[in-house]
Amino acid sequence: MQQSDFLNVVMPFKDKLYRLAKRLLISKEEAEDATQEVLLKLWSKNESMADYKNVEAFAMTMTKNFCLDRLKSKQASNLKLVHSNYQDENTSLQKQLEAEDSVRWMERIMDTLPEQQKMVLQLRDVEQYEFEEICELLDMKPTAVRVTLSRARKTVREELAKKHSYGIG
């Protein structure tokens, strides 16, 4: 595979790799390093790239495994998921504060979820992957993905209900 072909195949999902790495590693710098490492590994496999049915799924799996290995090597136990890849320059200060508060609440709630639920919730609801792709990425059966997602959503819903009904009734 030539360099231009590689760029055409890999660059469209480079940002997804970074977002996944950032969610797992927290730090922007660590996420950038992880993304760069994965892209280098992909380039080293560029000759066999045509053999892969879904290069994006392969790259996402590589990113997930690389980040988890890095976390294990540091013996980190505080994985955080933060979704902050949206910005609207025309929002009022009030709306910005509300959005930041919502992100913080979601971060707190998601911190309480088991690791597998965090990953499935992020891939399905944030990154908008199809169930089949999530099954392939996480090496799970479709039923397990749906049950895990359902449990994660239920926990989030219950925690948000507690937050919003605080002091009522």
Residue 147: its pLDDT value, please? 95
Q: How far is the first Cα of the chain from the last one, in angstroms, to the nearest whole number?
A: 64
**Which CATH number applies to 91-169: 1.10.10.10, 3.30.70.100, 3.30.565.10, 3.40.50.1220?**
1.10.10.10
Residue 81: its pLDDT value, please? 44
Residue 76: its pLDDT value, please? 42
Residue 75: its pLDDT value, please? 47
Q: Pick the residue with more confidence: 28 or 50?
A: 28
74-83, 84-93, 121-130, 140-149 — which one is most confidently predicted on average?
Answer: 140-149
Q: Pick the residue with more confidence: 25 or 13?
A: 13
Residue 90: its pLDDT value, please? 58
Contact 57, 11 (CB under 8 A): no
Residue 67 has pLDDT above 80, yes or no: yes
All structural domains of the chain with their residue ranges: 1-79, 91-169
Residue 143 has pLDDT above 50, yes or no: yes
**Which CATH number applies to 1-79: 3.40.605.10, 3.40.50.150, 3.30.1650.10, 1.10.1740.10?**
1.10.1740.10
Which pTM does this prediction carry?
0.52
Residue 8: its pLDDT value, please? 84
Residue 168: its pLDDT value, please? 55
Residue 146: its pLDDT value, please? 94
Contact 74, 37 (CB under 8 A): no
